[in-house]
Structure formats: C-alpha cells, structure tokens
Amino acid sequence: MKEIDPKNDPLYLLAKAVEEGDPEAIKKVKEHLNRSDDPSEMRYLEGLLILLGEQPGELEDPPDFEDDPDEYWKENDYFEV
C-alpha cells in the first residue's frame, strides 16, 4: 500500500486550510469538488463545506424530522386508516 505524503495530498491540504481558517478555503474546496468524480471524495469535500457553514449539497441528506406527519404515512403506509 502506498503511503500518502500530506504535503502533496489535496484533501489533506484542504482540510488543513479549513482547520486554520483560510479565507480562501471555501473557494478551494468548491473548486476541488467541481473537479472530482469520486463519490467518497465528494462527500468528504461537502463535509468540509458544512464545517465552513455552507449549505450541504446534493450528496448530503436533509435532516430527518421526527414528528413529520407526511413522513409517518409514507413510512407506515401499510396501516389502514
């Protein structure tokens, strides 16, 4: 297995930029996200954007509402009313 060099790994560098509060971090992450076609990498990048306060993209599921009546009936439509 090949070892990753952190100084040349783009995901490491982006995570480091987010951690250090780089003002260009959002732009850098979005640019890398637009170039990526690896779903795992894209999820990771969207996670970085969430940490930066951005809205989740299409890979992240919206929050689940516990008391949503519409969702209840969709999940439990086998019950007769």
Residue 32 forms part of a structural domain: yes
Count structural domains, the chain: 1
Q: How confident is the model at residue 3 (pLDDT cuts 50, 70, 90)?
A: confident
Q: How many CB atoms lie within 10 A of CB 7?
A: 8
pTM: 0.64
Residue 81 forms part of a structural domain: no
| pLDDT tens per residue across span 37-79 | 888 898 899 889 988 988 766 655 555 556 655 555 555 555 5
Q: How confident is the model at residue 22 (pLDDT cuts 50, 70, 90)?
A: very high
* Distance, CA of 45 to CA of 33 (rounded, Å): 6
* Distance, CA of 42 to CA of 30 (rounded, Å): 10
Question: Domain containing 22: what range?
Answer: 10-75
